[in-house]
A and B are shown apart, each in its own frame.
Chain A
């Protein structure tokens, strides 16, 4: 639990406006930011080293202010972080990392299919998201937040995921 508190303290800078966010989502927000440090994106025409790294949230934002708080205080390799609320699929293709809220589960397969090859790191937390071929999938293990990485999906997106991150991921069942 101490670790959870530590993480919560790390990402919970200042008081949140719209009510308190559960510790779980504070941790997940911190993890989203940390994932970005262990992933290499292919060069895009629209982005360079100066443009901010965009983290999108598709659907209802479960993080409250946690993501904004992180974005305000941190940079990734000198790049600032921008948080964007995403409502449609075309918008989703223009961000670097996108989190799918459980609310979007209904059309997840179609959405992910449209994003294929667009170099977007997709992160989700539902079984459906995982089955539909999302790249990183949050998993709760007792009271710890852990994650699975779908390396095939990552390759399709042209993302290079650090071996260190893969080592920490819960192994996925190989699809036949």
Chain B
């Protein structure tokens, strides 16, 4: 706050209001961004869970009667969800029963070993294992992998939007504060100018203009009152001097008259 100390009040006010509004807005944007990401991820997990459950349920007959082709067909229907990169169905013993690869180039990856039921986010992918149940028994496992690129793209769009909002608001805040700071800085600079004038010209008849009934108003009132008192004291002093002068002049003329009279008598 040291740098603020020697700035004119006008600048101080603008710096403070800009700083406050920008920091508050940045915090709000950050909170919204975090919230949005959390919600988007939760929704994504929920949707993938449903997909896993449906796909798993549709694979039960294929798994039960050793028809890998039928399960492959079921998995193929995942192609309507372009974010799903790959899917695997494992049998009860953990062997790969059927798989789906959106892009044939994934062929080079070996199937992931069966992990714990549930989901995790890693290297721009959402990975999920779900058991496939039939008639109260687990007969296999389904694994789905979803690409997070759309989610990340959305996040960066959000960041860009936030920066835009921040810049626009900063501009508006700048113009507003430039105008509003006058409410405080103008009466102060008026007062300062009046003080300077009184000091330079020793003219106690000028008065500072008052704009409102706030602390500044009473400060100006006080100042004007002090000027008035000085003026009054000056006027009184002058009056007494002239009275004294007049008295002296009178006594002088009386004395003179007495002198003249005595001179004539003698």
Residues of A whose CB lies within 8 Å of any CB of B are 3-4, 6-7, 9-10, 27, 31, 34, 36-38, 74-78, 144, 146-147, 162, 164-165, 167-168
**Pick the contact of A77 from B64, B91, B136 — CB < 8 Å?**
B136
Question: Chain B: how many interface residues by the 8 Å CB criterion?
Answer: 18
Distance, CA A34 to CA B61, complexed state (A): 8
Distance, CA A110 to CA B186, complexed state (A): 112
Find the B residue at minimum CB distance from A2.
B95
Residues of B whose CB lies within 8 Å of any CB of A are 58, 60-62, 64-68, 70, 91-93, 95, 134-137
23 A-B pairs with C-beta separation under 8 A: A3-B66, A3-B68, A7-B66, A9-B93, A10-B92, A31-B65, A36-B135, A37-B60, A37-B134, A37-B135, A38-B61, A75-B135, A76-B136, A77-B135, A77-B136, A144-B66, A164-B58, A164-B60, A164-B62, A165-B61, A168-B65, A168-B67, A168-B70
CB distance from A31 to the nearest CB of B (A): 6
Which residues of chain A come closer than 8 Å to B67, judged between CB atoms? 168
Distance, CA A31 to CA B65, complexed state (A): 7
Which residues of chain A come closer than 8 Å to B95, judged between CB atoms? 6
Q: Find out whether the CB atom of B62 lies under 8 angstroms from the CB atom of A76.
A: no
Distance, CA A38 to CA B67, complexed state (A): 15
| Known A6-B66, A37-B60, A76-B136; 9 more pairs at CB < 8 Å | A3-B66, A4-B66, A6-B91, A27-B66, A38-B64, A77-B136, A147-B65, A168-B65, A168-B67
Cross-chain pair count, CB within 8 angstroms: 50
Which residues of chain B come closer than 8 Å to A27, judged between CB atoms? 66
Which residues of chain A come closer than 8 Å to B61, judged between CB atoms? 38, 162, 164-165, 167-168
Q: Find out whether the CB atom of B136 lies under 8 angstroms from the CB atom of A78.
A: yes
Which residues of chain B come closer than 8 Å to A76, judged between CB atoms? 135-136
**Pick the contact of A37 from B58, B64, B66 — CB < 8 Å?**
B64
Q: Find out whether the CB atom of B136 lies under 8 angstroms from the CB atom of A34.
A: no
Which residues of chain A come closer than 8 Å to B62, judged between CB atoms? 164, 168
CB distance from B134 to the nearest CB of A (A): 5
